[in-house]
Structure 1
Amino acid sequence: MRLHRNLVFGVVDGLQMIFNEGIYASKAVEQILKRDKRWGSRDRGFIAETVYDIVRWKRLYSEIAEVKEPFSRANFFRLFAVWAVLRGISLPDWKQLEDTPTRRIKGRFDELSKIRIYRESIPDWLDEIGVTSMGENKWNKEIHALNQLAPVVLRTNILKTSVPYLKKRLYDEGIDADTVKGYPHALQLKERANVFATEAFKEGLFEVQDASSQLVSPFLDVSPGQRVVDACAGAGGKSLHLAALMENKGQLIALDIYANKLHELKRRAKRNGAHNLETRLIDSTKVIKKLHNKADRVLIDAPCTGLGVLKRNPDTKWKLSPEFLEKITQTQKELLRDYSKMVKDGGKMVYATCSILPQENSKQVEGFLKSEEGKTFSLVKEQHIFAHSSGYDGFYMALLQKTEVPKETSKEK
């Protein structure tokens, strides 16, 4: 493989944005790829995949390269050199890459790969929490699985099409995809491709959504005609799935504290043909209070550490901290207690996260059920999804039901 200077410089610039400027990896890569319209799909793929690889293995590579944060531009070239050598790529005769100790890199890799914090490239504190929360054996399997590249999975928009038709449409546009057993609306790409450029996407026939994430909306057990609230809708991947499951009948209310995310959801809903969906910005406590005891179903897809989606967001490892974990678990507790008040008697609620830690998942539900707000709820079922057993993102879902309060009959005097 021959390295091209402008592509390697693009990778280094991306790493600078992520590690020194605090920009999310997805946004940094998006900005870099807009720089040169002459770059083809292979060039763009090289930049994106190399940036993500170096971000994913930052701790291992920086230990091998003997560089420490804050990284200088020379340090980023050293990290790139480690990446290239470990893949058997010949380094060009550039001054930025001169004196790269090829043999020492391979030797250090073999040596450090025996130690989990380097082998899986994770912070000490995260490794300690993983072992404490999940046990040595399960944590070993899970963190290894979360360091693998995520597959591209699509969710068929059943408001507009069927899985067989979508599969054919994609094939006609040069994209080969397979159905996924156990995921009725999913198609998994055989090779990575820019699906957003397809006519099928522009027509709203699918959304990109991991297979594990596709299990959350059906878990809520919605029916056409119900009033359903997606309490932490964000840009609305699960809201759109709910709209499809409701067959566009009933009322679907998407709530969020960020107006820009709801604006994006409106745009996506129009493309998807989701007509029963309305967005409401949570700009005061009144928004929630107006819905107290009004919803048949409530989805709380809670903000979390995102540890279950490290496959696609490897920079999360480096942005998280023990303090953030403590803060987010408190937020989750408050959301459960506040948003559960929207569920009507006999209604159901799903609490979900894209985390694998019990303190964000089952322990939150246990705490809620013991609280004043949770005493009228019971746990119907829960599902723990781990990357090492599913091959997809790590997720947690709990279905809770609110007790039907019998109406008091008037006593004869």
Structure 2
Amino acid sequence: MRLHRNLVFAVIDTLHLVFNEDKYADKEISKTLKRDKRWGSRDRAFIAETTYDIVRWKRLYSEIADVKAPYTRANLFRLFTVWATLKGIQIPDWPQFEDTPTRRIKGRFDELSQIRKYKESIPDWLDELGEKELGKLWDKEINALNKQASVVLRTNRLKTNPKELQKTLDEEQIATKLLSEYPDALELYERQDVFKTQAFKKGLFEVQDASSQKIAHALDVQEGMRVVDTCAGAGGKALHLAAIMENKGQVIALDIYANKLKELKRRAKRAGAHNIETRHIDTTKVIKKLYDSADRVLIDAPCTGLGVLRRNPDAKWKLSPEFLKEITEKQSQILYQYSRIVKSGGKLVYATCSILPSENEKQIEKFLSTEEGEKFKLIKEQKISAYQSGYDGFYYAVLLKK
């Protein structure tokens, strides 16, 4: 592979924003890709995948390159040198790459690959926490979470079905495979920009990981029900619920962020989901008005997001022990308050995209021991392992209100 100066510089510029200005990798990569209209699909893929790779392996590459924060431009080029050398890419004769110690890079890689926190490129505290909470499974789980995520689509059954969608995408040169364990899912054979397809513009699908698609089905919704999605965000699961209900009944999508609900409205219009009503949680009255009124309630709780590190590798560097403490307290509060929306005989699903028991089954155990939790009984729970499923790590519990 021959390295092109403008593409390498684009990677370095993006890494600077992610590492030094604490920007989100996905958003900065998206902005970078719009910088030069002359870039083709291979150029864009190089920028995105190289940036994600260096973000993912930041600690390992930093140790090999012997650099520390703040990441000066010279340090970022040293990280790039490590990446290129380990990929077997010839380093060009540019001033930025002078004195590249190729043999030392490979020797340090072999040495550090024997130590998990370097091999898997994670902070010390996270490595210790993972081992404490997951034991021997941590090795397999963190290894799986460092692999690049595949692209999975969710068929919008309001407009099509998986087999028809597969044919439609074939006509646009997007090759997919059906996933037998996931009734609405298609997985791309190769990474492609599906957002430019006519199929997407017509609302025939959404991009949604296979594990995430299990959550709406766990609610066991029926046509005509009143369903409340309490932490709806931009609405991936609310849209799925509307499709399962065939637009019959009511899906109330709540969130504390008005801009996310605005995005949900836009997505719902494209999807043809007419039974979704958005409500901004600007006061506690919004929740209290819904007490004892819903057949089904989804709490897709805010969490560490450790189960989705494959698609958000920079989360490893943004998380902290303090944040974990804050988020578990928030999860407890949300469970206690939002569970009151379920009416007698209704069901509550608590879900996270985390793999930590402290955010998952331990939260449910704690909730069931409270005054409000005593009104519920646990009827099902599933821990979705990234290592075992090949997709994101997730957890959900289904609770029945007596």
Structure 1 length-normalised TM: 0.97
Alpha-carbon separation, structure 2, partners of 1:22 and 1:61? 18
Equivalent residue, structure 2, for 1:339: 338
* Deviation string, structure 1 residues 113-171 (Cα, Å, up to 9, x no partner): 00000000000000000000010x20000000000000000000000001111000000
Equivalent residue, structure 1, for 2:30: 30
Alpha-carbon separation, structure 2, partners of 1:98 and 1:173? 45
1:104 aligned partner, one-letter code = R
Equivalent residue, structure 2, for 1:408: none
Number of equivalent positions: 402
Aligned-residue offset at 1:70:
1.2
Equivalent residue, structure 1, for 2:320: 321
Alpha-carbon separation, structure 1, partners of 2:347 and 2:115? 45
Equivalent residue, structure 2, for 1:407: none
Equivalent residue, structure 2, for 1:194: 193
% same residue: 70
Alpha-carbon separation, structure 2, partners of 1:30 and 1:391? 25
Is the partner of 1:269 in helix, strand or coil? helix
Alpha-carbon separation, structure 2, partners of 1:38 and 1:247? 43
* Deviation string, structure 1 residues 307-333 (Cα, Å, up to 9, x no partner): 000000000000000000000000000
Aligned-residue offset at 1:262:
0.3
Tell me, yes or no, if structure 1 residue 215 matches structure 2 residue 217.
no
Tell me, yes or no, if structure 1 residue 381 matches structure 2 residue 399.
no
Alpha-carbon separation, structure 2, partners of 1:54 and 1:138? 25
Aligned-residue offset at 1:51:
0.4
Aligned-residue offset at 1:385:
0.3
Aligned-residue offset at 1:373:
1.1
Aligned-residue offset at 1:266:
0.2
Is the partner of 2:184 in helix, strand or coil? strand
Counting only pairs closer than 5 Å after superposition, residues 5-404 of structure 1 correspond to structure 2 as 5-135=5-135, 137-403=136-402
Which of 1 and 2 has greater Rg? 1
Alpha-carbon separation, structure 2, partners of 1:251 and 1:189? 32
Equivalent residue, structure 2, for 1:409: none
Aligned-residue offset at 1:338:
0.3
* Deviation string, structure 1 residues 61-92 (Cα, Å, up to 9, x no partner): 00000000111111000000000000000010
* Deviation string, structure 1 residues 279-331 (Cα, Å, up to 9, x no partner): 00000000000000000000000000000000000000000000000000000
1:144 aligned partner, one-letter code = N
Q: What 5-or-longer segments of structure 1 have no aligned partner?
A: 404-413
Aligned-residue offset at 1:34:
1.1
Alpha-carbon separation, structure 2, partners of 1:252 and 1:339? 15
Alpha-carbon separation, structure 2, partners of 1:255 and 1:70? 39
1:38 aligned partner, one-letter code = R
Alpha-carbon separation, structure 2, partners of 1:287 and 1:187? 37
2:140 aligned partner, one-letter code = K
* Deviation string, structure 1 residues 164-209 (Cα, Å, up to 9, x no partner): 1100000000000000120011000001100000000000000000
Alpha-carbon separation, structure 2, partners of 1:25 and 1:105? 25
Aligned-residue offset at 1:101:
0.3
Moved over 3 A (4+): none
Equivalent residue, structure 2, for 1:406: none
Alpha-carbon separation, structure 1, partners of 2:24 and 2:223? 38
Alpha-carbon separation, structure 2, partners of 1:100 and 1:284? 58
Alpha-carbon separation, structure 1, partners of 2:72 and 2:355? 34
1:289 aligned partner, one-letter code = K
Alpha-carbon separation, structure 2, partners of 1:369 and 1:100? 58
Alpha-carbon separation, structure 2, partners of 1:374 and 1:246? 28
Alpha-carbon separation, structure 2, partners of 1:203 and 1:381? 36
Alpha-carbon separation, structure 2, partners of 1:171 and 1:247? 26
1:286 aligned partner, one-letter code = K
Q: What 5-or-longer segments of structure 2 have no aligned partner?
A: none
Aligned-residue offset at 1:97:
0.8
Equivalent residue, structure 2, for 1:410: none
1:307 aligned partner, one-letter code = L
Alpha-carbon separation, structure 2, partners of 1:233 and 1:37? 35
Aligned-residue offset at 1:355:
0.1
Alpha-carbon separation, structure 2, partners of 1:231 and 1:204? 24
Alpha-carbon separation, structure 1, partners of 2:58 and 2:191? 24
Structure 2 length-normalised TM: 1.00
Tell me, yes or no, if structure 1 residue 4 matches structure 2 residue 1.
no
Is the partner of 2:183 in helix, strand or coil? strand
